[in-house]
Amino acid sequence: MILRVLLLLTLFPLSAVSAPLPIPDQGPALRIQGSNTIGAALGPALVKGLMEQQGLQGVHAEPAEGANEQRVIGKTRQGKTLTIEVDAHGSSTGFAALHKASADLAASSRPIKDSELVDLEPLGDLKSPEAEQVIAIDGLAIILNPRNPLNTLNTEQLAQIFNGEISTWEALGGIGGAIHLYARDDRSGTYDTFKDLVLSRRGKALAASAKRFESSEQLSDAVSQDPQGIGFIGLPYVRQAKAVAIVDGDSQPMLPLNSLIATEDYPLSRRLFFYLPPTSHNPWAKALVDFTQSSKGQAIVAANGFIAQRVQAISVEPRPSMPEDYQAIAREAQRLTVNFRFEEGSASLDNKARQDVQRVVAYIKGHGKLDKQVTLVGFGDIKNDPQRAALLSKLRAMAVRRELVKSGVVLRDIRGFGAQMPVAANTADEGRIKNRRVEVWVY
């Protein structure tokens, strides 16, 4: 009997068995408001996963009173009904709802703004690691007709194309005459992503001539059938179209590969967030955040077409454009699908990086690489003095080293490559922040 109990504890450790959450006598157990990108499908799917983990039966989503509003409903074994509300009207509405106390959790497809932080100060620091939770990485593909010979575009060209300033394929060195624009509708999170990452950053708006689609599948199929077409689409919907490589500033051309989106190197990638007020006493809100960060939750993220925060090792093909010392690392080691990034103007790890430390440590321990089988490689943005850039990039790697050492990781090497191999333009704050990164390589 004792042996059987020990075996059960090995298979199902006590920490993995979640205590049942309270069922409110009336009203929803949890109210989520904010991003349509999250709330349209991913949010309800995560809620369903948590409710099923809690043993609720007949869990299902149904439309609520307004457009882009859903209720996820389940029943206890005793027949009591539990409801969680998910309203998806845009990221800003989530923070406004927290301010009005009409939501318990905000879903956002962008970081919280300084003005929103000030408004929500009575609820605690929404930028604290416990409050700001990166739940997934999103990425867009730029698609062309398969017969279009162009294989690469840069972000400045994209802004000019979709604004209508560049109107012919010949202006891009291609053939085919007039460019036909295809875009998602205004309510689409995919459109919000493209607008934020490409158009708004350059002060441009989408051309009125663009054909708009509510359906991702229909947009992709329309581009694949139009030799003059170009569109943007979520990763799961490339279908028969051709995805092109994207360049931002002096970065290398990057295809929308899962590995490049996971590391956030791909120019059209962004983070998706839950914001949980530190003063919250809603157990369902905290439980949903924890469930989302678990392996089950991240599997739901992947199943919904987003990039999960899973750590994997990938081989990288050495290229002549890489520094020779970097090529040597790539020939011997594999790169983990995570980059550590830092708070703006700081050498402190950002909130996603703090979560990633735990994920990387779990990978290193699980693969028996604690003793001198890990190399950290730091990068930075351009400085007036290349030696200073190299030093700062190594200092960033050392900041990551300090966190890994706490968990017993003995590093093989720490390298700093300064401003070499940028992944984004150094002309904007967002690009400089992306370039300040630390890669993890395992032998």
Residues 178 and 247 in one domain: yes
For 121-135, 188-202, 232-246, 329-343, which range has the lowest pLDDT when averaged over its residues? 188-202
| The pLDDT of residue 18 | 59
CA 218, CA 36: separation in Å to the nearest integer? 19
Residues 406 and 345 in one domain: yes
CA 157, CA 166: separation in Å to the nearest integer? 8
Residue at 11 is within a domain: no
| The pLDDT of residue 426 | 86
* Confidence tier at 215 by pLDDT (50, 70, 90): confident
Cα–Cα distances (Å) from 306 to 141, 237, 298, in that order, read 12, 11, 9
62-96 pLDDT per residue, tens: 999 998 899 999 999 999 999 999 999 989 999 99
CA 87, CA 98: separation in Å to the nearest integer? 13
* Confidence tier at 216 by pLDDT (50, 70, 90): confident
Token pair belonging to 90: 């845009």
* Confidence tier at 202 by pLDDT (50, 70, 90): very high
1-30 pLDDT per residue, tens: 444 434 333 333 433 445 799 999 999 999
Backbone angles phi, psi at 363, to 5 degrees: -65, -45
DSSP track, 354-419: HHHHHHHHHHHHHTT-TBT-EEEEEE----SSHHHHHHHHHHHHHHHHHHHHTTT-B-SEEEE-TT
CATH of the domain at 177: 3.40.190.10
Residues 90 and 148 in one domain: no
| The pLDDT of residue 15 | 38
| The pLDDT of residue 10 | 38
Best-predicted range by mean pLDDT among 185-199, 281-295, 415-429?
Answer: 281-295
CA 429, CA 438: separation in Å to the nearest integer? 18
As for how many domains the chain has, the answer is 3
385-430 pLDDT per residue, tens: 889 889 999 999 999 999 999 999 999 999 999 999 999 988 878 8
- pLDDT surpassing 60 at residue 138: yes
Give me the mean pLDDT over the 149-170 stretch: 97
Residues 146 and 173 in one domain: yes
Q: Print the domain residue range for 52.
A: 18-131+276-303
Residues 184 and 234 in one domain: yes
- pLDDT surpassing 90 at residue 209: yes
249-260 pLDDT per residue, tens: 999 999 999 999
Residue at 268 is within a domain: no
Residues 200 and 239 in one domain: yes
305-334 pLDDT per residue, tens: 899 999 999 999 999 999 999 999 999 999
Give me the mean pLDDT over the 352-381 stretch: 97
